[in-house]
Amino acid sequence: MKRKIIIFIVIFISCATNQTKIENVKIVPTTTQKIVNNTTTTSTTIYDLEEQYLMLDNFKVAWEENLKESIILSQEEIELTDYLYSLWIWKGDKWTPENQNFYELKVNNKICRRIWSSMGYAWLDQIHPVQNIFTNGYVATERYICDPDGDFTENSLFGAPFYYKEKWWIYQGYDFSWDQIDCKSPCGTSVGYFGTLVPIDSDDEIYNISLSDS
């Protein structure tokens, strides 16, 4: 059965003391729709807030069911990763990122540069092995921007690097496909990015880090 792509309108409800907001909800594969205007070739589907929350909840359940096996770091890997964080954590003002340690990371032969902060975040396809202010479960904030003229989804790195099996790793954006999950209808998502694990290039300066230095 072919999936239909529907764009739905975000509804804002405000009152004097509280505001509920759902925004940036992506295209939704589904087999049901409520036609508002069937007199033109373009139709709009409107869902109430309860249905919108149900869509998001269904997507969350499907995503969690599809997570890859979690990575478990050894004690040595944890210690080396912790030491990197003590060097990597942002120090000084936010207007001179080039002064930060590990300002650049090399991934897939591309140079990616640190950013102070971003509204961007990604749902990772597995639980991040280190939980901190940059990662919470499978949610990670945007930390590096790569080639601004490159592929949009691969242009960001998320979370902080970690050491595992003699390599340094980080999560990079990728093109999400609805075939990746089995989502109960109705289904929709407000997530802007999705991230998957990639190795940092072996000639990057991050490989100069060792516990002996600490």
Residue range 169-202, pLDDT digits in tens: 999 999 999 999 999 999 999 888 999 999 999 9
Residue range 14-36, pLDDT digits in tens: 333 333 333 444 444 443 333 33
Residue 74, pLDDT above cutoff 90: yes
Model pLDDT, residue 181:
93
- What band does 206 get if pLDDT is binned at 50, 70 and 90? very high
Rounded Cα distance, 69 and 203, in Å: 28
Region label for 165, one of left (φ > 0), alpha (ψ between -120 and 50) or beta (otherwise): left
pTM, full prediction = 0.75
- Are 145 and 156 in contact, with CB atoms under 8 Å apart? yes
Residue 61, pLDDT above cutoff 70: yes
